Amino acid sequence: MRVDLFIRHAAQVVTPLGHRPVRGMAMGNLELIPDGAVAIRDGRIVAVGPTSTVEAQITEAAEILEARDQVVVPGFVDPHTHLVWAGDRAAEFELRLKGATYLEILRAGGGILFTVRATRAASSDQLIAETRSRMDRMLLHGTTTAEAKTGYGLEWETERRLLDVLHHLNGAHPLDLVPTFLGAHAVPEEHRENPEAYVGQLIEEMLPRIAAQRYPVEGPWSPPWADGRAAWFCDVFCERGAFNLDQTRRILEAAKALGFGLKVHADEFEPALGATPLAVQLRAISVDHLVSTPPEHLELLARSETIGVTLPGTPFGLATGHYAPGRQLIDAGGALAIATDLNPGTSWCESMPMMMALATRYMKLTPAEALTAATLNAACAIGLGREIGSLEPGKQADLVLLDARDYRHLAYRYGVNLVHTVVKRGKIVVREGRIAQDEELHR
């Protein structure tokens, strides 16, 4: 067999297996191959196994990577980000350190609404430049696919511009993006006195227009599965001060009828508004945050097909000390994924390994469970379990080489970047911890 890229003699090749979300205790079952190898052809994995076994099948390799003293894992999948915005909220961070709460700041017209003002005022070029720098940082930390939400426009023109930016970057950057429409992120200032008018606009105007919108699939990096839909998913921030349960239901039902997959920001702050049972009832692909979810709702979730996406960067970023009961969800037989929640307010962090470090300590996941949560289960939480999330023949060749001899170092060490090499669809896009030269030329 002739291959394009042959990675051999890795200290370990480590991966979950399959195309479906891994549930309960099985999340800890990884395939671990000492002295492992991966062979890649036409952007797909063609063989994984012990170096001697894979090598015996190969007649010619265009490029060989010696991965001695390194661990090979699937590229990380970040299934919940608010990737595209302008500016920052460093001043608000400092206010919170002095005691102001996140929801108080939002009620006073700051928080998300502060970023909405900055984003509406930014040019598309500025948004592209700011977003691209975050995508570079994600790639450098081993993320090869990410979900990306709108939600800092909150009116048609800007929300559409955010989708334009996401589609442009999807073709122009090696990191693959899956767009989600989050027009229901907050009630915009101009509708403060009458939130129902905005809910009506979302349901009657914005959702149908987005459902009908198509983008040409173009650019050197357009993912094969980017079918041009403007957004794959619709998400709602169900929270006191954002959207109530009844509004959340109406928006999600309308989105479902238009063919969107569903996601919900549920139980981030206020306990048990009921968004988790609603997500389960509407067969949402994921329900996200789950910090204040009561045990009976967690049980319901664990028995459903909906994936729990937990975001440990958020309680860390806000220093609340309250983390999602990730261990309990796994013990109840649920499928759990982790994500960064990358956003300027609660969690400006591009690193999935940092989320693994937090998930093991504060949600009591084992390092193996955290890896499954950051790869295969994360892929399933954005509908891509068939394409990515594990190292198996047939899957897209997205993988990471770490400067460590044991995969547990991913969660064990933190605050430094162990990513040495990133392979995206069979191409080396990060070499020795830097964006590869030929990738720089695409800019």
Q: In the stretch 64-103, what mask flags binding to ligand NIG with x, by CB under 6 A?
A: ------------------x---------------------
Q: Mask of contacts with ligand NIG, 333-362, x by CB under 6 A?
A: --------x-xxxx----------------
- 156's enclosing H/E stretch is helix 156-172
Q: Closest distance between Fe ion and the C-beta of residue 185, in Å?
A: 8
- Does 341 help bind Fe ion (rule: CB under 5 A)? yes
Rounded to 5°, angle at Cα 119 from 117 and 121: 70
11 binds, among ligand NIG, Fe ion, none (CB under 5 to 8 A by kind): none
Quick one: 74 or 79, whose CB is closer to Fe ion?
Answer: 79
Q: Within 10 A of 90 (CB to CB), how many other CB atoms are there?
A: 9
Separation CA 289–CA 277 (nearest Å): 14
CB neighbourhood size of 432 (10 A): 8
Which partner, ligand NIG, Fe ion, none, binds residue 16 by CB below 5 to 8 Å per kind?
none
From ligand NIG, Fe ion, none, interface partner of 268 (C-beta below 5 to 8 A by class): ligand NIG
Q: Is 237 in the site for ligand NIG (CB under 6 A)?
A: yes
The one of ligand NIG, Fe ion, none whose footprint includes residue 130, by CB under 5 to 8 A per kind, is none
Comparing CA positions, the residue from 10, 165, 158, 73 lying closest to residue 368 is 73
Note whether 243 binds ligand NIG by CB under 6 A.
Answer: no
Please check whether residue 146 is in contact with residue 376, taking contact to mean a CB–CB distance below 8 angstroms. no
- Write the interaction track for ligand NIG spanning residues 109-148; mark x where CB under 6 A is met and - where it is not: --xx--x---------------------------------
As given in the structure block, the two tokens for residue 239 are 């929270």
**Alpha-carbon distances of 134 from 127, 131, 329, rounded to whole Å:** 11, 5, 31
Count other C-beta atoms under 10 Å from residue 335's C-beta.
Answer: 28
Binding of residue 223 to ligand NIG (CB under 6 A): no
The pair of three-digit structure tokens given for residue 342, joined into one six-digit string: 């990358």
Q: Is 268 in the site for ligand NIG (CB under 6 A)?
A: yes
Does 424 help bind ligand NIG (rule: CB under 6 A)?
Answer: no
The piece of 107-115, 244-252, 294-302, 352-360 that touches ligand NIG (CB under 6 A) is 107-115
Full 3-state SS string of 344-387 = CCCECCCCHHHHHHHHHHHCCCCHHHHHHHHCHHHHHCCCCCCC
Under DSSP, is residue 37 helix (H, G, I), strand (E, B) or coil?
strand
Comparing CB distances to ligand NIG, the nearer of 309 and 423 is 309
With CB under 5 to 8 Å by kind, the binding choice for 390 among ligand NIG, Fe ion, none is none
Contact flag: residue 268 with Fe ion (CB under 5 A): no
How many C-alpha atoms does 278 have within 13 Å on its Cβ side? 26
**β-sheet bridge partners, residue 34:** 12
One residue of 314, 351, 396, 421 binding ligand NIG per CB under 6 A:
314
Q: Which is nearer to ligand NIG, 212 or 319 (CB)?
A: 319
Closest approach of ligand NIG to the CB of residue 182, in Å: 8
Calculate the dihedral angle through the C-alpha atoms of 115, 346, 151, 220, rounding to the nearest 10 degrees: 100
Residues forming contacts to Fe ion in the complex (CB under 5 A) are: 341
Residues forming contacts to ligand NIG in the complex (CB under 6 A) are: 82, 111-112, 115, 237, 265, 268, 314, 341, 343-346
